[in-house]
């Protein structure tokens, strides 16, 4: 698998985002070859730089920040100074996309909002990403992944039936919102190239979280019943879920009657096919707890790899539940180059995930790890047309900095 030229090469993204959802949006642009100028707060930078206990170990950078900011360039600017705003105006003139996730209205009060920047660049696609969107009674409140999961109904739909609501183990709300935001910005670019006019796009994490619960809405609309949690099993198909094995867990799905029959034979349970409690999918859902008990009486005696082998051989979708390190080092991960070693400043070689998109079966290259705070300030200013003397004065006057260099 060879690296392909960057498919978004030539695009320029002015990135004001902090934390994870906005950073993930910008990361997608950077991975696909766009030049991403990450505008960071003077003297401190993105708050995510300080979010985990490994900050000192990694030279003043959190692992979260490193994970979400590869391939970007960092410029450290004092936006409270007129000269700092002027730098942004110059960059906006050359940019194709602006990304921001300040508190609602903050970027407008800074004089850097859509109405101002589109005067400079009418084709600009300006994307505002927030917890609750740009309108409504919650718009002014802060929001993070767990808050969006709580407000959207996502957390209430996860967990064991009699247990607590449960958020996702990773920042899935951030990444899903970032994926929607990336797609929306690309659509805005298509429209701008067709019409010559940019647009402002608004996206809220909670709205995306609610959309991810669309089957819950359909179920409620149909039955009038409130959300029920099903733990590791599914509300619409049985068996469909995670089952105990002798050495861990295995995922098993029998979504057709043919696969249900094949599953029973593969696990040595032909009598279950004749059991009236399990005769149809509707019956199996009605008797889900009993079904899980019958299946786990067998699966608990088998290693997870053996469950996977038997069921795949019978044409039934199944997989071992792999601990992270097993997938990370698996033959499949190695064959598809899921990760690559990349140089990270102040750390050394670190392993990063490659972008999952493949173009003509070729990878999107990783050019660099996450930037140090202000690492590219001088380079970006030079690209914007500032002379060496002007750049020196901006540093001397406290307009720009390179704090981590």
Active site residue ranges = 174
Q: How far apart are the first and last CA of the chain?
A: 35
Q: How wide is the angle at C-alpha 259 spanned by C-alphas 315 and 215, nearest 5°? A: 110
- Stated as kind and residue range, the H or E segment containing 121 is none
Name 344's bridge partners. Answer: 348
Cα 227 to Cα 230: distance, rounded to the nearest angstrom: 10
| Residue with token string 């406290």 | 398
Inter-residue contact 345 to 372 (CB < 8 Å): yes
Q: How wide is the angle at C-alpha 99 spanned by C-alphas 96 and 105, nearest 5°? A: 125
Q: DSSP letters along 167-220, please? A: --SS-HHHHHHHHHHHHHHHHHHHHHHHHS--EEEEEEHHHHHHHTTHHHHHHH
Q: What is the DSSP letter of 43?
A: T
């Amino acid at each position: 698998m060879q690296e392909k030229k960057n498919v978004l090469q030539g695009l320029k993204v002015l990135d004001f985002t902090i934390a994870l959802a906005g950073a993930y949006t910008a990361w997608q642009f950077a991975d696909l070859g766009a030049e991403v100028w990450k505008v960071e707060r003077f003297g401190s930078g993105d708050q995510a730089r300080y979010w985990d206990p490994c900050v000192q170990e990694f030279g003043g950078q959190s692992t979260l920040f490193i994970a979400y900011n590869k391939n970007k360039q960092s410029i450290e600017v004092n936006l409270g100074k007129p000269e700092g705003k002027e730098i942004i105006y110059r960059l906006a003139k050359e940019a194709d996309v602006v990304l921001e996730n300040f508190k609602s209205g903050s970027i407008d009060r800074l004089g850097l909002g859509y109405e101002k920047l589109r005067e400079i660049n009418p084709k600009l696609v300006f994307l505002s990403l927030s917890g609750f969107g740009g309108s409504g009674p919650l718009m002014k409140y802060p929001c993070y992944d767990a808050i969006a999961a709580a407000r959207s109904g996502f957390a209430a739909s996860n967990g064991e039936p009699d247990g607590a609501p449960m958020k996702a183990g990773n920042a899935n709300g951030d990444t899903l919102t970032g994926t929607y935001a990336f797609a929306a910005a690309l659509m805005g670019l298509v429209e701008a190239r067709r019409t010559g006019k940019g647009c402002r796009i608004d996206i809220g994490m909670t709205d995306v979280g609610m959309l991810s619960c669309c089957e819950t809405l359909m179920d409620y609309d149909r039955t009038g019943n409130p959300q029920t949690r099903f733990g590791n099993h599914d509300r619409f198909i049985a068996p469909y879920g995670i089952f105990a094995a002798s050495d861990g867990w295995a995922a098993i799905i029998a979504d057709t009657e043919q696969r249900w029959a094949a599953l029973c034979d593969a696990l040595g349970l032909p009598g279950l096919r004749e059991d009236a409690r399990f005769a149809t999918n509707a019956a199996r859902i009605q008797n889900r707890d009993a079904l899980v008990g019958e299946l786990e009486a067998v699966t608990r005696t088998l290693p997870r790899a053996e469950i996977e082998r038997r069921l795949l051989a019978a044409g039934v979708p199944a997989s071992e539940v792999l601990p992270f390190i097993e997938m990370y080092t698996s033959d499949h991960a190695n064959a598809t180059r899921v990760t690559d070693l990349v140089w990270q400043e102040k750390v050394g070689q670190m392993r990063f995930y490659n972008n999952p998109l493949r173009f003509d079966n070729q990878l999107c290259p990783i050019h660099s790890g996450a930037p140090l705070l202000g690492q590219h300030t001088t380079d970006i200013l030079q690209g914007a047309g500032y002379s060496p003397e002007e750049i020196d004065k901006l540093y001397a006057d406290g307009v720009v900095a390179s704090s981590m260099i």
